[in-house]
């Protein structure tokens, strides 16, 4: 929604072979050294432009494995955040641009893009319209969490929702179905048994799922 804070995650599972990323190389056994998440663009009706033109920005997290936080390595799972306050309404085609780095008679780099994603920014700009949305999800608090953290979300009507938490490998470490009331809901998530690290928590209704990142630190 325009003029309302927005956040979403880009999940990256970095494979070992170039052919797993670029279909044209499927029959060539080339090992990946690393993959860089270069940018995420939106199509403004004329050209692909950086998300900053509509108020959104990309940040990466590779768990400190490189000084470049957008550099990812084979066999691991990573994430990036798209966040900001949208300033332009519309429906935008989204492209994710990466560069695959490998060795083939020397260091080689192969750019590639992933398409088929859509970002819709509605024109409503009032708090009342935002609260009427089918589902909104706030950042957990406290974050980082130790023994527990509170998850706060809003739904437009009484309904069943699923709360789930997964690690960066995509493994579900917690899941629970609850009955949510209309408006704001708060759920206390016990995290004392979680290992220290970065997790992704989600709230899912019948027609929508929202995910945010949290840190557990003991």
- Whether residue 24 is predicted with pLDDT greater than 60 in this model: the reply is yes
- Residue 125 pLDDT class (50, 70, 90 cuts): very low
Distances 177 to 2, 45, 103, 170, 184 between C-alpha atoms, Å = 31, 41, 47, 19, 17
CA dihedral (169, 172, 173, 174) positive or negative: positive
Taking CA 169 as the corner, what is the angle to CA 16 and CA 52, rounded to the nearest 5 degrees?
A: 85
Which fold, 6-121? Immunoglobulin-like (2.60.40)
H/E element holding 111? Answer: strand 107-121
Cα separation, 88 vs 75, whole angstroms = 37
- CATH 2.60.40.2550 segments of the chain: 133-216
Find residue 214's DSSP bridge partners: 199
For residue range 75-113, list pLDDT tens digits in order: 888 878 888 899 998 888 999 999 999 988 889 899 989
Can you give the pLDDT at residue 119? 87
Which fold, 133-216? Immunoglobulin-like (2.60.40)
Can you give the pLDDT at residue 174? 95
Whether cis (ω within 30° of 0) applies to the bond prior to 78 is no
């Amino acid at each position: 929604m325009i003029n309302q804070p927005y956040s979403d995650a880009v999940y990256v599972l970095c494979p070992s072979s170039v052919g797993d990323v670029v279909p044209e190389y499927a029959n060539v056994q080339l090992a990946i050294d690393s993959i860089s998440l270069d940018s995420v663009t939106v199509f403004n009706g004329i050209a692909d432009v950086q998300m900053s033109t509509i108020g959104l920005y990309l940040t990466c997290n590779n768990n400190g494995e490189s000084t470049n936080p957008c550099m990812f390595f084979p066999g691991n799972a990573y994430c990036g955040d798209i966040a900001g306050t949208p300033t332009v309404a519309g429906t935008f085609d989204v492209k994710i641009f990466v560069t695959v780095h490998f060795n083939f008679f020397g260091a080689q780099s192969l750019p590639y893009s992933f398409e088929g994603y859509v970002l819709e920014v509605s024109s409503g700009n009032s708090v009342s319209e935002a609260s009427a949305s089918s589902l909104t999800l706030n950042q957990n608090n406290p974050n980082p969490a130790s023994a527990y953290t509170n998850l706060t979300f809003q739904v437009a009507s009484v309904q069943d929702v699923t709360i789930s938490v997964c690690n960066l490998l995509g493994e579900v470490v917690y899941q629970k179905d609850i009955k949510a009331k209309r408006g704001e809901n708060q759920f206390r998530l016990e995290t004392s048994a979680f290992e220290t690290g970065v997790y992704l928590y989600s709230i899912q209704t019948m027609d929508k799922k929202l995910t945010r990142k949290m840190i557990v630190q003991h």
